[in-house]
Amino acid sequence: MLGAMLAAATIARGTAVEGFIGIGVLGLLGIVLATFLGRRSGRHALEQRLSALAARLGVDVPDQEPRGVEPALHHLELVTDRAAEAVAESSADAIRLRRALDTLPQGVIVCDENGEVVFRNARAVGLMGGRHGDALAAQAVVDLLANAWQQGTAERTLDLYGPPRRTLAVRTQLIDDGRRTLGVIAVIDDVSERRRLEEIRRDFVANVSHELKTPMGALGLLAETLVSETDPVVAQRLASRIHTEAFRVSRIIDDLLDLSRIESEEAPPREPVLINLVMAEAVERMRAAADQRDVGIELSEPDPPVAVLADRRQLVSALYNLLENAVKFSYDAGTVHFRATTGEGEVRIEVEDHGVGIPSRDLERIFERFYRVDQGRSRQTGGTGLGLSIVRHVAANHQGRSEVDSREGEGSTFSLILPIQPDLG
Question: Which of 72, 103, 134 is the C-terminal boundary of a domain?
Answer: 103
Q: What is the pLDDT of residue 359?
A: 87
Q: Could you tell me if 274 and 245 lie in one domain?
A: no
Residue 218 lies in a domain: yes
- What is the rounded average pLDDT of the residues 351-367? 86
Count of other CB atoms within 10 angstroms of residue 385:
20
Q: Could you tell me if 114 and 171 lie in one domain?
A: yes
Q: Could you tell me if 299 and 172 lie in one domain?
A: no
Predicted confidence band of residue 6 (pLDDT cuts 50, 70, 90): very low
Residue 195 lies in a domain: no
Q: What is the pLDDT of residue 53?
A: 62
Which CATH number fits the domain that encloses residue 243? 1.10.287.130
Q: What is the pLDDT of residue 318?
A: 92
What is the greatest pairwise CA distance in the chain?
132
The alpha carbon dihedral of 209, 211, 217, 219 has a sign of negative
Buried b or exposed e, range 244-263, using 16+ CB within 10 angstroms: ebeebbeebeebbebbeebe
Question: Which of 159, 190, 221 is the C-terminal boundary of a domain?
Answer: 190
Q: 223-232: per-residue pLDDT in tens?
A: 888 888 888 8
Q: Could you tell me if 113 and 94 lie in one domain?
A: no
Q: Could you tell me if 271 and 417 lie in one domain?
A: yes
The total of structural domains in the chain comes to 4
Q: Could you tell me if 278 and 348 lie in one domain?
A: yes
Count of other CB atoms within 10 angstroms of residue 177:
9
Owning domain of residue 79:
1-103
Predicted confidence band of residue 348 (pLDDT cuts 50, 70, 90): very high
Predicted confidence band of residue 281 (pLDDT cuts 50, 70, 90): very high
Q: Could you tell me if 283 and 392 lie in one domain?
A: yes
Q: Could you tell me if 124 and 1 lie in one domain?
A: no
Q: Could you tell me if 259 and 218 lie in one domain?
A: yes
Query: Judging by DSSP bridges, how do beta strands 296-300 and 335-343 pair with one another?
Result: parallel
Cα–Cα distance, 348 to 343 (Å, whole number): 8
Mean pLDDT for the chain overall:
77
Q: Could you tell me if 298 and 405 lie in one domain?
A: yes
Cα–Cα distance, 85 to 200 (Å, whole number): 56
Question: Which of 167, 190, 213 is the C-terminal boundary of a domain?
Answer: 190
Q: Could you tell me if 158 and 214 lie in one domain?
A: no
